[in-house]
Amino acid sequence: MELSPYVEALGRDLAAAAAAGGPDISRAADLLVGALDASARLCLLEALSDAAAEITAKLESAAVEVRLRGREADLVVTPITQPDEAVSQPAPQPAAADGSGDLARITLRLPEWLKQEVERSAAVAGVSVNAWLVNAISAAVQAGSSGRTVPTTPGRPGRRITGFAQA
């Protein structure tokens, strides 16, 4: 899906609104159109991503993703494998019994391949990515508190790495 027609329509609308203000206002509007191009594209991509997430939540047999290729956004529909074909995933755990637990927001950066696997697993389980991650983390924490070794580094069970790194 080419986003340029939508961004250009926004620019035309801004130019038309500014025309009544005279040449100085029209010039300012032209400058704003150039500056808003990237921001408008980003907003459109966010809207497409939100729409894809909502559609995926309503579908039982497919997941919809937005993939960026150059300056174009592609909507990709991926069939979801049946639960018996899927890799064993943590079973969804209910939230705090009384629902009174405080919530905290974190930023999590994942490699693209892992993000796609998490999204697929969440779709197979029929839950949101956030709910799936909370369930997976809860299961890992419970496994760790029960004395079982939780692999935290591939191939190195029980070794924990902490800290901050930037690539």
Q: Could you list the residue range(s) of the whole structural domain that residue 16 is in?
A: 1-79
- 50 shares its domain with 126: no
The CA-atom distances, in angstroms, between 61 and each of 4, 48, 65 are 32, 20, 14
- 56 shares its domain with 98: no
| Confidence category of residue 101, pLDDT binned at 50, 70, 90 | low
The CA-atom distances, in angstroms, between 76 and each of 1, 30, 69, 160 are 11, 35, 12, 36
End residue of a domain, out of 79, 111, 144:
79
End residue of a domain, out of 47, 79, 111:
79
pLDDT at 148 over 70: no
Q: Give the lowest-confidence range in 17-21, 67-71, 158-162.
A: 158-162
Give φ, ψ of 54 to 5 degrees: -65, -40
| Confidence category of residue 86, pLDDT binned at 50, 70, 90 | very low
- 88 shares its domain with 161: yes
- 74 shares its domain with 91: no
**Who has greater pLDDT, 85 or 146?**
146
Express as a percent the part of the chain with pLDDT over 70. Answer: 74
Q: Mean pLDDT over all residues of the chain?
A: 76
Q: pLDDT tens for residues 7-48?
A: 888 888 888 888 888 888 888 888 888 888 888 888 888 888
